[in-house]
Structure 1
Amino acid sequence: MTYLLAGVLVCVILGVLSFGSVLKHLLSMLLSLEFLVLMIFLLIVLHFYILSEGTYVAIIFLIFSVCEGALGLTMLVSMARSFGGDYISSLSLAA
């Protein structure tokens, strides 16, 4: 069990590093953010499995992560229609 927990913690650290390193495309940022959310969800599930308690917190976290993913994809589609791509550098607040 400790090897699994250590593996998930390493994946969380790699997810944070990948989220911080891909700042050019919004799609890459969303993909690394979803990976990070999935690893945090696995960490929560492992925590509740070790303690043998209810997993209501994990289900609520999963609901919020699905809403976050849908909002991110909506922003990606909106940005692609407005600016013609998912480049972060092409964003401009001036009209």
Structure 2
Amino acid sequence: MMKFLFTLMFFVGNMIFVSKHKHLLIVLLSLEFIVLSIYLMMLIYMIMMNYNMFMLMVFLVFTVCEGALGLSILVSMIRTHSNDYFQSYNLL
């Protein structure tokens, strides 16, 4: 039952990531939701197999770095364009 719940969390996060691509903040929140579901799946798997939890700490370090990088991009985008819409952001 728990595996189904975490898999459902993963797919809901992916659906939000694909469908709500207008705001950067919603995209970042859906990515964090996906990472949280992957973390919980890894935690349950490692508890069931009696593995060492060191890999989870490395995963959390990379997750925090990804979140900080995403927030810094969001802040710089809001400072330069005064919103987080992707339509107002010209890539050229």
TM-score (norm 1): 0.93
For 1:18 and 1:59, locate their aligned partners in 2 and report how far apart those are by CA, in whole Å.
27
For 1:68 and 1:93, locate their aligned partners in 2 and report how far apart those are by CA, in whole Å.
22
For the aligned residues, what is the CA RMSD?
Answer: 0.9
For 2:14 and 2:42, locate their aligned partners in 1 and report how far apart those are by CA, in whole Å.
17
Name the structure 2 match of 1:44. Answer: 42
Are 2:17 and 1:55 equivalent residues in the alignment?
no
For 1:14 and 1:70, locate their aligned partners in 2 and report how far apart those are by CA, in whole Å.
23
Aligned length: 92
Secondary structure, counterpart of 1:93 in structure 2: coil
Name the structure 2 match of 1:33. Answer: 31
Q: What are the residue-to-residue correspondences of 1:7-22 with 2, within 5 Å?
A: 7-22=5-20
Name the structure 1 match of 2:3. Answer: 5
Q: What are the residue-to-residue correspondences of 1:50-89 with 2, within 5 Å?
A: 50-89=48-87
Cα distance, 1:55 vs structure 2 = 1.2
Structure 2 residues without counterparts, runs of 5 or longer: none
2:21 to 20, 23, 44: 23
Paired-residue identity, %: 40
Secondary structure, counterpart of 1:63 in structure 2: helix
- Structure 1 segments of 4+ aligned residues over 3 angstroms from their partners: none
